[in-house]
C-alpha cells in the first residue's frame, strides 16, 4: 500500500517502486490487481476505484535506483473519475523556498506498533518540516531520449537540537546527491518525518498563498549518521522534484 495525490480527476501520481517487489525490475503489479481508496481512513474509504493503466517512467524500468536517478515516479489512470475531490495543483516553477515550511501527508505503516491493530491499514497522517535541500541536473537516458530529474529533501530535527543531519559535517554517498546547503537544528512545533509505507505521498509548498505539490516521496537516506534507526531523529526524507519532471508528467496527463 502507498499514498498518491490526485493531479487530475482520473489520475494519481505515486512513487513507481511501490508497484514492484523490492529490488526487482520485472513483473510490475497488474492494474487489475490494484484498488484505490479515497478518504482519510482506508479501512472505511469514501470511494473504491479501479485502475485502467499505469504509466511507468521509462528510465526507472531500465535501472531502478530509487531516488538516485530522480525517476521514481509513475502515473496511475483510473477507470472512472474520482468524485468530490479537487485535484491538487503542481508547483512547476524552479524557486522552491529553501528554509521555508513544507507539509507532507501520507499513510505510512504504523500497524506493527504497540497499541495498533496489525490487521488494519494506518490512517492518514500529516507533518510539517523545513525544506533543506534542492538538487537538479540529474540526467537519465533511454532510446535516444534524455530525461531531467531533481530532488528535494528535509531532515528530522530533535527538540534537543542534536540531530541536524543536513547541517552536520558527515555527508554519506546518498546524502551527497542532495548537494550542499545549511539546515537549522531547531524543529518546528509539528515537525515529523516519513515512515515505511509513505512512499508516493505529496510534499506541499506554499506558492502565492496556494499550497501546491512540489515533490513525491521516494525514500530516505540510509544511516545519515552511524547507527541511526530509520524514521527516528536525524532521518532524511527525499522527494522526486515536480519541476524537473513536469515535461514527462505533462505528456502523460494529456
Predicted local distance difference test score (pLDDT) of residue 27: 74
Predicted local distance difference test score (pLDDT) of residue 22: 64
Is the sign of the CA dihedral 76, 81, 82, 86 positive or negative?
positive
pTM recorded for the entire structure:
0.93
Contact 199, 219 (CB under 8 A): yes
Distance CA 150, CA 134 (A): 7
Contact 49, 79 (CB under 8 A): yes
Predicted local distance difference test score (pLDDT) of residue 56: 87
How is the beta sheet containing 210-220 ordered, strand by strand?
125-130, 101-106, 202-207, 210-220, 236-241, 145-155, 133-142
Predicted local distance difference test score (pLDDT) of residue 19: 84
pLDDT in tens, the chain (254 residues): 578 888 888 888 788 888 887 666 667 888 998 999 999 999 999 999 999 999 888 888 777 667 899 999 889 999 998 888 888 899 999 999 999 999 999 998 887 788 888 888 888 999 999 999 999 999 999 999 999 999 999 999 999 999 999 999 999 999 999 999 999 999 999 999 999 889 999 999 999 999 999 999 999 999 998 889 889 999 999 999 999 988 888 887 76
Predicted local distance difference test score (pLDDT) of residue 7: 84
Residue 133's beta-bridge partner residues? 153
Predicted local distance difference test score (pLDDT) of residue 249: 84
- The three-state secondary structure class of 252 is helix
Predicted local distance difference test score (pLDDT) of residue 13: 79
Predicted local distance difference test score (pLDDT) of residue 78: 92
Note the pLDDT tens digit of each residue in 68-116.
999 998 899 999 988 888 888 999 999 999 999 999 999 988 877 888 8
Question: Which three three-digit cell numbers place residue 46?
Answer: 469514501
* DSSP3 helix / strand / coil % (the chain, rounded to 5): 10, 30, 55
Amino acid at each position: 500500500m502507498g499514498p498518491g495525490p490526485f493531479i487530475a480527476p482520473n489520475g494519481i501520481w505515486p512513487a513507481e517502486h511501490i508497484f514492484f517487489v523490492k529490488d526487482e525490475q520485472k513483473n510490475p503489479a497488474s492494474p487489475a490487481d490494484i484498488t484505490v481508496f479515497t478518504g482519510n481512513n482506508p479501512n472505511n474509504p469514501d470511494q473504491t476505484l479501479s485502475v485502467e493503466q499505469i504509466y511507468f517512467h521509462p528510465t526507472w524500468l531500465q535501472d531502478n535506483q530509487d531516488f538516485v536517478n530522480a525517476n521514481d515516479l509513475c502515473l496511475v489512470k483510473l477507470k472512472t473519475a474520482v468524485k468530490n475531490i479537487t485535484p491538487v495543483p503542481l508547483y512547476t516553477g524552479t524557486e522552491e523556498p529553501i528554509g521555508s515550511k513544507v507539509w507532507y501527508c501520507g499513510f505510512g505503516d504504523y500497524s506493527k506498533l504497540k497499541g495498533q491493530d496489525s490487521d488494519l491499514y494506518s490512517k492518514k497522517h500529516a507533518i510539517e518540516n523545513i525544506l533543506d535541500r534542492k538538487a537538479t541536473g540529474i540526467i537519465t537516458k533511454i532510446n535516444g531520449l534524455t530525461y531531467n530529474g531533481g530532488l528535494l529533501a528535509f531532515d528530522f530535527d530533535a527538540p534537543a537540537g542534536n540531530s541536524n543531519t543536513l547541517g552536520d559535517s558527515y555527508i554519506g554517498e546518498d546524502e551527497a546527491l542532495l548537494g550542499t546547503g545549511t539546515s537549522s537544528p531547531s524543529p518546528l512545533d509539528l515537525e515529523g518525518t516519513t515512515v515505511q509505507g509513505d512512499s508516493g505521498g505529496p510534499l506541499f509548498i506554499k506558492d502565492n498563498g496556494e499550497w501546491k505539490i512540489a515533490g513525491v516521496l521516494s525514500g530516505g537516506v540510509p544511516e545519515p549518521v552511524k547507527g541511526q534507526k530509520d524514521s527516528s531523529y536525524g532521518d532524511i526524507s527525499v522527494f522526486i522534484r515536480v519541476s524537473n519532471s513536469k515535461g514527462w508528467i505533462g505528456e502523460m496527463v494529456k
